[in-house]
Amino acid sequence: MNNSIESKKILIVEDEPKLAQLLKDYLAQSGFVSCGLNNGLDVIPWVKQNDPDLILLDLMLPGKDGMEICRDLRRFSNVPIIMTTAKVEEIDRLLGLEMGADDYVCKPYSPREVIARVKAIFRRIESSKHGNGTEEVFLVNAERMEICFLGVLLDLTAVEFRLLATLIKQPGRLFSRDQLLDQIYEDNRIVTTRTVDSHIKNIRKKLSVISAEQDPIVSVYGVGYKLEV
C-alpha cells in the first residue's frame, strides 16, 4: 500500500454514472486517484490486476451484487472496503452478515462524508502501523502466548489469549462474534457466538482486577466487539 494519501488509488464501484463522477471529482479534490467500474462482474479481475488501496462498493449492482463481491474479495485481499447502500435498515443487516467490509455509508450521502470516511480508514491504517498507544497499554508476546496489561501479566487461557490478541492487533476495528470465533478456534467444534461473550466477560474480569476504571473492550450492540485504548 502506498504511504501518502496523494498516491492512494481508490476503486469506485457504482452503476449510477452521475454519482460515480461526483465521487471521482471529490476524491480528486482531496488528492486521491480513482478508477470507476459499473458492473459487479468486473470487480474481482480488476482488483487482482490493479491492487487498489481502498474500494467504495455499491450494494446494488448489475452483474454481481456488492455483498457477493465483498465476500469474494475477502478470500484473497484485505483491501479496505466501504459499502454504500440506499437504505439505513440495510446497514444493520449488512453488519449482521459478516461480509468483512470496513465501513458502511448510507445513500443519499454527501460526498464530503464519504471522503471523511475514506480518510478515517487510511488514518486508522497509518496509526496501527506506527503505533497508537495500544502498545503502551498492552504488550503481546505471541510466542509465549502472554499479554501484559498496564505492565501486569494477565493470566489468560489459550482461547482468551487468542481473542484478546486479535482485538489488540487491530485496535478500533469492529469484529463480529463470528469473526472472533474464527480466530479463536482452530478446529470446527460446535460453539455458539455466545461463547465469545462469555470469554470476553472473563477477560474483562481479569482486566478489571488490574484497572477498574479502564475497560478497553467496547461492546457494539448486536454486532460484536472492538478494542479502544
58 makes contact with Ca ion (CB under 5 A): yes
**Alpha-carbon dihedral angle through residues 177, 14, 108, 90, given to the nearest 10 degrees:** -30
User: Residue 175: how many CA atoms within 13 Å on its side-chain side?
Assistant: 27
Q: Name the closest residue to Ca ion (Cβ).
A: 60
Shortest Å, Cβ 171 to Ca ion: 33
In this chain, which stretch among 53-61, 95-103, 125-133, 160-168 interacts with Ca ion, using CB under 5 A? 53-61
15 makes contact with Ca ion (CB under 5 A): yes
Shortest Å, Cβ 61 to Ca ion: 5
CB contact set of 158 (below 8 Å; sequence gap of 6+): 145
Residue type, 163: L
- Strand, helix or coil for residue 16: coil
Shortest Å, Cβ 18 to Ca ion: 12
Q: Select the residue interacting with Ca ion from 60, 79, 121, 125 (CB under 5 A).
A: 60
Calpha distance 147→167 (Å, rounded): 12
Shortest Å, Cβ 60 to Ca ion: 4
CB contact set of 206 (below 8 Å; sequence gap of 6+): 154, 155, 156, 160
Of residues 15 and 146, the one with the C-beta less far from Ca ion? 15
Q: Which of residues 117-136 bind Ca ion (CB under 5 A)?
A: none
Of residues 7 and 39, the one with the C-beta less far from Ca ion? 39
Calpha distance 29→9 (Å, rounded): 14
Of residues 103 and 160, the one with the C-beta less far from Ca ion? 103
Cβ atoms 65, 110 nearer than 8 A: no
Shortest Å, Cβ 195 to Ca ion: 37
Residue 51 is inside which H or E element, if any?
Answer: none
In this chain, which stretch among 40-48, 56-64, 118-126, 200-208 interacts with Ca ion, using CB under 5 A? 56-64
**Residues that bind Ca ion in the complex, under the rule CB under 5 A:** 15, 58, 60
